[in-house]
Structure 1
Amino acid sequence: MKVLLVGEFSRLHNSLKEGLQELGHEVTIVGHQDGFKNYPVDFPLRKKWDSGILKKIKIAVHTLSKFDISSYLTYCQFQKNYQNFMHYDVVQLINENSFYCQYFYEKKILQFLFKNNKKVFLLSCGYDYLNVKYCFENPNYKSVIQAYLWNRISAKSFANVLKFRTPSFKKLHDYIYTNTAGIIATDLDYHIPLHGNKKYLGLIPNPINSNKIEFEPLEIHGEIVIFHGINKANYYKKANDYFEKALDQIAVKYKSKVSIITTRDVPYNTYINSYNKAHILLDQGYANDQGYNALEAMAKGKVVFTGAEIAFAKHYNLTSRVAVNTIADVDYLVHELSFLIENPDEIIAIGKRARAFVEKEHDYIAIANKYLETWTKY
């Protein structure tokens, strides 16, 4: 099968590509490679005029004419390589705004993909129209929208989420929804809002290539090392404000018993190796299930503070913790961290279970097979 994967912002498509290639399929990734994560992409796109004086000019032009220079330049990059994006058996979009363009140019690119390939599927693995709509209509549903509703995040900082509530993105959603073969969710955070939707094809967990992630059983001979990796752009969306306040208390409470490592906006390869010596990793506080960063840390055998709600445990029939469910509450975080620091055997046990869970439920070849079954069926 010949497959085009569109977009990459978590290494999901790279791991899926590796699984599909192991099974003998031809796979290409096109997408943006900007930013500090810098994931591998076969046909990289650059979001131009997006910083400095050029960005100011772009904003001024858009204000006066509604013309978006960055979107136009992305479209030009796509057009330059258009022959490489034709005649695929399957095209899979990472989300409803895979090219980061405004409506006009995003639709033009999508029209080409729909016209020149056999099937197009859509992933729900981040913000999109249906997910954002559900979260706003259900404010008690655990999601990053809660942080916005609690005034923890400004509208300006939340623009990449709020855009999915605008009329133009509703039009884009309707266009994609009509033309795709179906929608696939990558974890429970996206599965629950899609449940019962006629286009929804089911949940396929994130693929993790554990062969590339070394597992070292945790050992505790001195300090317990806690790692907190911060992406400043997502600082409040990941509940980093709560994590930092909790760590301040932990540092005072346990002094010589703990060592705290904090990084900010480091490249992906640096990030994933920054926590090799850590026992505990703080990931996010507004999720029901694990995202990609959490799963990679779990594959290394770390104890990860992330989404692990009751629905997650039920879905995978878990009777023991493989991660620490996290909520945006400083006292709760201090309590959970304190329990682990005072019970180091539990750290070691959770770390072992975390690796076993990832190997069982997220194996990249098994997940690739699930995608193939879904793509073939629909």
Structure 2
Amino acid sequence: MRILLIGEYSRLHNSLKEGLLALGHEVILISDGDGFKQYPSDFLITPKTLSKGFLNIPRQIIFRIFKYDIAQLERGMRFYKLLPKLKNYDVVQLINEAPIKTSKPFEKYLLNKIIKQNKKTFLLCCGMDYTVVKYMADKKPRYSIMDPFFKDISLIKEYRIMFEYISKGHKKLHDFLYSKITGVIASDMDYYVPLLGNSKFMGLIPNPINISKLEYNEPVINGPIIIFMGINRWIYNQKGIPYFEKALTIVKAKYQEKIEIVIAESLPYNDYIKLYSKAHILLDQVYAYDQGYNALEAMAKGKVVFTGAEKEFMEHYNLIERVAINALPDVDYLVNELSLLIENPDEIIAISKRTRAFIEKEHEHIVVAKKYIEKWSK
């Protein structure tokens, strides 16, 4: 089968590609590398001309005045030039509703070309799109990453991009795609629930994790327990980082020499992985119901991750024992959960073993790739 993957998000398509290649399929991935994370791609459409040098100055001025990044147009043009090479694929999969990341009219034009010159097109729901943002904006979930904005509208700068997904322009793109795609697939429970009842929804396929690239080492605790937290300032409040920071301040004062806290900001993927490798505990996010990609990769390496692990997740996978700590936007709760682990290091080891076993069973990239082939073939 010839497969074209468009867009990247947290290495999902790279891992899926590796699984599909192992099964003997022909796969091409085109993306911008997911920004500063710099994931590999067969065809990179990262803006280069307008993102550095003297041309970056007018770009910054235009963005400050009109809140529009003209580098989006360069990204679109780079994709346009590749169109002759992106024909006659059996399957095209889009990482989200705007995988090229150009202007909305240009995005629609380019995606229409792609859909017409290939056989079947599928859409992944693994992040922000119209359906998910509308679901959160209507305050349907118990809690969501939009809660900080609901409490403090001065955070609009961080949330402006999110609101674009329910703008009239994006709604047109959303409606256009749903009229053309064969189906939409969710990557975890955070996207599964908003899609329930949608006629195009084909179900949930877990995120693929290439565990061969993520060595598992059983935790050795013969010194301080190392707690790692990565910070991306662009989504600082959406991840619930302020809750983690307050909890860490309390825990640090409480346990002093028993723990070591490592904090990293906006690192490329490879640097990020190296930095948390020695950690025992990783703080990911507080508003999720299921694990995102960063959490899953850390879990594969045997880290005890504070992330989404709600009852919906536990029930979906028929889990009785915890494979991750269900993080909540509650400082006292986070302090209590951290304290239990620090005072009972054997529990860190036990969760670590269960975590790796869970990833091997549900997320191994070749197993997951087979599920995609099955969905695409129906």
Task: Give the number of equivalent residue pairs.
Answer: 374
Cα–Cα, structure 1 residues 234 and 85, in superposed 2: closer, same or farther, change >3 Å? same
**Shift in Å at residue 351 of structure 1?**
0.5
SS of equivalent to 1:87: coil
Q: Deviations over 1:297-345 (max 9, x none)?
A: 0000110000000111011010100000001111111111001111111
Q: Does 1:116 align with 2:117?
A: yes
Match of 1:226 in 2: 227
Q: Deviations over 1:28-52 (max 9, x none)?
A: 1111126321001111112364575
SS of equivalent to 1:162: helix
| TM-score where L is the length of structure 1 | 0.95
Moved over 6 A (4+): none
Match of 2:8 in 1: 8
SS of equivalent to 1:144: coil
Q: Distance in 2 between matches of 1:324 and 1:104?
A: 42
SS of equivalent to 1:36: helix
**Shift in Å at residue 280 of structure 1?**
0.3
Cα–Cα, structure 1 residues 233 and 61, in superposed 2: closer, same or farther, change >3 Å? closer
Query: 1:59-78 maps to which residues of 2 (within 5 A)?
Result: 59=63, 69-78=70-79
Q: Distance in 2 between matches of 1:354 and 1:152?
A: 37
Q: Distance in 2 between matches of 1:153 and 1:285?
A: 20
Q: Distance in 1 between matches of 2:281 and 2:242?
A: 17
Counterpart amino acid of 2:60? Answer: K
Q: Which runs of 5+ in 1 are unaligned?
A: none
Q: Distance in 2 between matches of 1:241 and 1:121?
A: 37
SS of equivalent to 2:71: helix
Match of 2:367 in 1: 366
Query: 1:91-102 maps to which residues of 2 (within 5 A)?
Result: 91-102=92-103
Counterpart amino acid of 1:229? Answer: G
Note if contact 1:139-1:146 (Cα within 8 Å) is conserved in structure 2. no
Match of 2:62 in 1: 58
Q: Distance in 2 between matches of 1:60 and 1:235?
A: 21
Identity %: 52
Counterpart amino acid of 1:21? Answer: L
Match of 1:43 in 2: 43
Q: Distance in 1 between matches of 2:154 and 2:236?
A: 9
Q: Deviations over 1:63-95 (max 9, x none)?
A: 8xx9x7333322221122222211111000000
Note if contact 2:59-2:70 (Cα within 8 Å) is conserved in structure 1. no
SS of equivalent to 1:266: coil
Q: Which runs of 5+ in 2 are unaligned?
A: none
Q: Distance in 2 between matches of 1:210 and 1:55?
A: 40
Q: CA RMSD in A?
A: 1.7
Note if contact 2:290-2:308 (Cα within 8 Å) is conserved in structure 1. yes
Match of 1:29 in 2: 29
Counterpart amino acid of 2:115? Answer: F
Cα–Cα, structure 1 residues 371 and 247, in superposed 2: closer, same or farther, change >3 Å? same
| TM-score where L is the length of structure 2 | 0.95
Note if contact 1:139-1:145 (Cα within 8 Å) is conserved in structure 2. no
